[in-house]
Amino acid sequence: MMTSHSTVSRIRSRILPLAFALAAAVTCLVSAPSEAHAENLIKRPGAHNRYKFELEPHLGFWWGWGNRDDLDFGPGIRASIPFMHNGPIDTLNNNIGISFGLDTYFPNGDLVIISSPVAFQWNFYFTDVISVLGEAGLVMNIATEGGPNNDNFDLDPLFQGGGRFQWGRIGVLVRVGYPSVSVGCNIQF
């Protein structure tokens, strides 16, 4: 059975981002310290890493543009900046910040989708390793097919929740929700 050049090209364009995300996740897991502390920290305000900036390269999964039923995926990056390190609930170990990023999806040879989320991020820290987050915001989507005269623009709400598994300054972050799901490595500075 012969496969066309476009089919092979499409398969390669989908496998490379997946390989990148898998390599990033494995690097995070391998570089993690061997000991983990399971002390409950949720009722100890401020007992989490104090970081000024968090960077997260990831692989995103998005269920398509318009009426298509495809599950598209591609590489992306998110950055989070906490602006309240202790609170807004001052009796719990939590912080709040802003998260923004850029995701790219390549559903076929001509279509490129660029997605740019901006959201408020609220983090709750349960142990030195485990924390959860909730996000609400907007995501701007631009789809370009065959050139700049065929651009489509869309603005969607963003509601996501996730879990962070942190070993020192490096960890793994998983997000689920609308309009996408992502898995990536996070680095706190």
179 prior amide bond cis, ω within 30? yes
- Specify the number of domains making up the chain: 1
Helix (H, G, I), strand (E, B) or coil at 10: helix
CATH of the domain at 134: 2.40.160.20
- Whether this model's pTM surpasses 0.85: no
Find the angle CA(17)-CA(118)-CA(97) to the nearest 5 degrees.
Answer: 110
What 8-state DSSP symbol labels residue 85? S
Residues making up the chain, counted from first to last: 189
φ, ψ of residue 166 to 5 degrees: the values are: -110, 130
pLDDT digits (tens, 9 = 90+) for 53-93: 999 999 999 875 555 567 788 999 999 999 999 889 999 99
Copy the structure tokens of residue 27. Answer: 């690097």
The b/e string for 75-93 (b: 16+ C-beta within 10 A; e otherwise) is bbebebebeebbeeeeeeb
For 11, the domain range is 5-188
Q: Which residue has the tokens 């983090």?
A: 123
One digit per residue, pLDDT tens: the chain, 189 residues?
Answer: 444 455 445 555 555 555 555 555 555 554 555 455 567 999 999 999 999 999 999 999 987 555 556 778 899 999 999 999 988 999 999 999 999 999 999 877 678 889 999 999 999 999 999 999 999 999 999 988 766 666 788 899 999 999 999 999 999 999 999 999 999 999 999
Asked whether 165 and 185 are in contact (CB, 8 A), the reply is no
